[in-house]
Structure 1
Amino acid sequence: MAGTSRPIDARGWIFQVEDTGATQETWLPIAGLTTFTHNPGENEETADTTAFDSEGHYEQDVMQRGATLELEGQFRIDKTTKAQDAGQAYVDGEWSQRLGIDSRNAVRWRHETQTQWVVWEATVTPGEQGGGTNEKTSWSATITRCGAPTTAAVSG
């Protein structure tokens, strides 16, 4: 037998944004996602350390680490109230409008099989929205990590 490890389903990933305007800690799930891309090497910077004594072999030191999450999916609304999904609405209407020191917000994400959240302080860049005659309206955002990632236990 080749072992018991199995690949995990992409649909099992959960992404949430912290509502910093709430009176108590509130995390809003981002609904409607159909794809995501985690790029753990985005914004990495290196310094060339190659010298004569490198004997013709390239050398470098990593000077800066970075990462991004690209989230894409469908623009979602509540069927009854017509309000946009709370997580998407927070990204679009609150977070993406902030500038300077106010532009950062917390996000967390994990797979449903994991017992720890990955938590980032991050900025967001809203993505394009659109669609054709027989399509649903798209929604997307790019989240860029600021500083080192942390973790938090899944509670409840």
Structure 2
Amino acid sequence: MGRPIDARGWIFEVEDHATPGTYIPLGLLTSWTKNAGENEETADTTTFDSNGYYEQDVMQRGATIEVSGLYGATSGTQDPGQLYVDETWTYLLGEDSRGKMRYRHTSQDEWTVWECTVTPGEQGGETNAKTSWGATFTRCGAPTTEAVVTTP
């Protein structure tokens, strides 16, 4: 049995709509959650032949990833990934609201790629806290994968 992997080893990137294939890392993240059952829909298939036991078929699969972190503003410039989500992707509507995000752990040699929409998270903080930042990505369709390309 292998060792558990560190949560901080996950990398999340968003694709620039204007330059397909160009991904921007999401920086300053402090937590993330993947919900593989979000937006799942089922059909009840229980009949008299089920002998009192519930039965169902999954009719739709869905998933979300919620990322949270600190609002990044080093030298007056917001983290590029956060800025892209906040100032570009968040304002796209209809078909344009779909984009791509990808994620992987540093120990993996393959990205998981989602076509998805994004919902901006709440921002805030208290007297002795740093400002929070977050977003939720909702997968549209089946995930795909692509190899990690390293440049020498």
Q: Same fold (TM over 0.5)?
A: yes
1:44 and 2:52 matched: no
Match for residue 8 of structure 1? 5
Deviation digits for residues 27-55 of structure 1, max 9, x if unmatched? 10000100000000000000000001111
What pairs with 1:24-103 in structure 2 (closer than 5 Å)?
25-79=21-75, 82-103=76-97
1:153 and 2:150 matched: no
Deviation digits for residues 2-23 of structure 1, max 9, x if unmatched? x5x100000000000001213x
TM-score, normalised via structure 1 length: 0.94
1:144 and 2:138 matched: yes
Alpha-carbon distance between aligned partners in 1 of 2:95 and 2:101, rounded to the nearest angstrom: 16
Superposition CA RMSD, Å: 0.9
Alpha-carbon distance between aligned partners in 1 of 2:23 and 2:119, rounded to the nearest angstrom: 19
**Consecutive unaligned residues in structure 2, runs of 5 or more:** none
Give the match's secondary structure for 2:86: helix
- Give 1:78's aligned amino acid: T
**Consecutive unaligned residues in structure 1, runs of 5 or more:** none
Alpha-carbon distance between aligned partners in 2 of 1:134 and 1:112, rounded to the nearest angstrom: 32
TM-score, normalised via structure 2 length: 0.96
Alpha-carbon distance between aligned partners in 2 of 1:136 and 1:127, rounded to the nearest angstrom: 15
Aligned residues: 150
Alpha-carbon distance between aligned partners in 1 of 2:116 and 2:98, rounded to the nearest angstrom: 5
Task: Detail structure 1 runs of 4+ shifted over 6 Å in the superposition.
Answer: none
